[in-house]
Structures are given as C-alpha cells and as structure tokens.
C-alpha cells in the first residue's frame, strides 16, 4: 500500500530525515515512536506532502511521487487524496459545525451532492459516537470530541491511508481513551494507518508493526513484542526505559 524509498527532508542546513525506507501492507497499522526531534512528525507530514521532501520517492496505492524534482501542483493534489491527516491540535474549521466540517471535503473537493454528503457525514459522526453533537461548533466540544470530528473529517474523503500525528498528545488524560478507541476500531476494520504517538499501550495493543525513529532514521522495527519486550538497539532500550520510568514516577 505504501512504499517509501530513501526519503530525505532538510530544513535549510538541518537534515531532519536522513533516508527513510518503509513498506506498509494494506490493512496494516504502523506505529512510529521516538524521542521528540527524531523526525517522526516530519516523516508523517511528508506522506501527505504537508512538508515537501527534499529527495526520495513515496508511492501510495500505485500513485508515485518522486521528490528529486519539483512536483506540479496537480500531481501533489492527486497524491494527497490517497491519504488523510489527523492533527495533534485537531485543526477543525472553527466557523463550521461538526457536521459541516465533515461535509466540507466531499462537497467542496469531491463535488458530491450536499444531501448525499450530509448522509455520509452523519453516518461517520455516528460511527465516532458524536451523532448528538453534530450541530455544535468546535468550541462547544471537548478536545476528545474535536479529535473524533477530526477523524471523521479525514475519513469522509475515503482515503486509502490514515495518518495520525500525535492525535492524543493535546488531550486531557481522561479523554485519550475515547480517541484511541475510535482508532482501534478503524484498525480492526482494516484501515491502513500510520500513527505517530506516545501511547505505548495503543502501540502494544493495536500496531502490526512498530518503528523506532531517532535522529532522522528508523533505528529499529518489528512487532510490538519485539520492540517493547526485546529491543535490540541500545537507543531503543534507552528510550523505552525513559518512558517507563516516567510512567512509574
């Protein structure tokens, strides 16, 4: 489903991604962990071309983007359609209700009939447990509810891949579960997902594969058991130790 080859990204002189290679099979949930500044968010944003990689190729479901030369706008937009992003800070459109947020992509971009888009949006909001809140504006919703609208908005475009950028980091602890639950259901339904997160329990319970990134590279990858129970690399061990220590303080 996703084939990434030698992906590089620099901001000026700072090289953030130093050659990422990755294949994700259809229906797989891949969780990316790593210390802050390791490049994991940049990596995810590159997959939706919210950052333009400096070199390398990404193919999603046969749509190939080669970043060694500048891409025409049209190709970028076509490539973006393959995936959809869920943001750390939700980034809902504040001037639209939950329903309008979810309908916006189908109506404005895909030119789907309003009534049809509305029915689909209602269905998605029901799925994320927000049927009762669909006419509320984002400021009237809790963080967890906003993020679930964010997921519904991304799903409305029927992307082949869902990208999650630390979707629970901005949430109060008691609201994290409701968002992870929705993500878990998605994974069980066979959605291909790439998730950047600090939620290790989610990684253990849901991920098919876990990647540990540090300093712009994938240091280690494997099943959750391999990474969490038998990490091979020293840096992975250090990182996991730090996280577990933080949990026990």
Strands 83-86 and 2-11, by their bridges, are unpaired
Among 26, 37, 52, 109, binds other proteins (CB under 8 A): 109
Residue number, 6 or 137, with CB nearest to other proteins: 137
- The Cα 76–Cα 66 span in angstroms is 10
- 104 counts as binding other proteins under rule CB under 8 A: yes
Question: Which stretches of the chain are DSSP H helices?
Answer: 40-47, 73-80, 98-104, 114-127, 143-155, 173-188, 200-206, 224-229, 234-248
- The Cα 44–Cα 216 span in angstroms is 12
- 122 counts as binding other proteins under rule CB under 8 A: no
Residue number, 141 or 210, with CB nearest to other proteins: 141
- 80 counts as binding other proteins under rule CB under 8 A: yes
In the complex, the smallest distance separating the C-beta of residue 82 from other proteins, rounded to whole angstroms, is 10
In the complex, the smallest distance separating the C-beta of residue 141 from other proteins, rounded to whole angstroms, is 11
Total interface residues for other proteins by CB under 8 A:
28
- 170 counts as binding other proteins under rule CB under 8 A: no
Stretch that binds other proteins, among 116-124, 151-159, 170-178, 235-243 (CB under 8 A): 151-159
Q: Are 57 and 42 in contact (CB under 8 A)?
A: no
Q: CA torsion sign, 11 to 212 to 144 to 112?
A: positive
- The Cα 62–Cα 57 span in angstroms is 12
Q: Are 231 and 238 in contact (CB under 8 A)?
A: no
Stretch that binds other proteins, among 91-99, 115-123, 178-186, 232-240 (CB under 8 A): 91-99
- 77 counts as binding other proteins under rule CB under 8 A: yes
Kindly list the residues in this chain that would bind other proteins in the complex (CB under 8 A). Answer: 48, 50, 73, 77, 80-81, 84-85, 87, 89, 91-96, 104-105, 108-110, 137-139, 153-154, 156-157
């Amino acid at each position: 489903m996703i084939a990434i080859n030698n992906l590089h990204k620099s901001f000026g002189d700072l090289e953030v991604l130093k050659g990422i290679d990755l294949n994700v099979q259809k229906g797989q949930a891949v969780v990316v962990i790593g210390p802050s500044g390791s490049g994991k968010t940049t990596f995810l944003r590159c997959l939706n071309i919210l950052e333009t990689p400096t070199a390398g190729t990404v193919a999603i479901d046969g749509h190939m983007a080669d970043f060694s030369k500048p891409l025409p706008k049209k190709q970028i937009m076509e490539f973006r359609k393959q995936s959809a992003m869920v943001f750390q800070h939700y980034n809902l459109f504040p001037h639209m209700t939950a329903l309008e947020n979810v309908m916006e992509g189908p109506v404005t971009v895909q030119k789907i009939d309003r009534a049809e888009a509305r029915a689909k949006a209602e269905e998605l909001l029901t799925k994320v447990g927000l049927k009762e809140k669909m006419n509320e504006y984002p400021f009237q919703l809790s963080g967890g509810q906003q993020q679930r609208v964010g997921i519904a908005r991304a799903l409305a475009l029927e992307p082949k891949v869902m990208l999650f950028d630390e979707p629970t980091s901005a949430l109060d602890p008691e609201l994290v579960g409701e968002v992870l639950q929705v993500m878990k259901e998605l994974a069980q339904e066979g959605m291909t997902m790439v998730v950047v997160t600090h939620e290790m329990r989610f990684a253990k319970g849901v991920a098919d594969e876990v990647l540990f990134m540090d300093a712009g590279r994938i240091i280690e990858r494997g099943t959750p058991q391999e990474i969490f129970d038998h990490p091979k690399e020293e840096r992975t061990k250090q990182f996991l130790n730090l996280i577990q220590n933080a949990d026990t303080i």
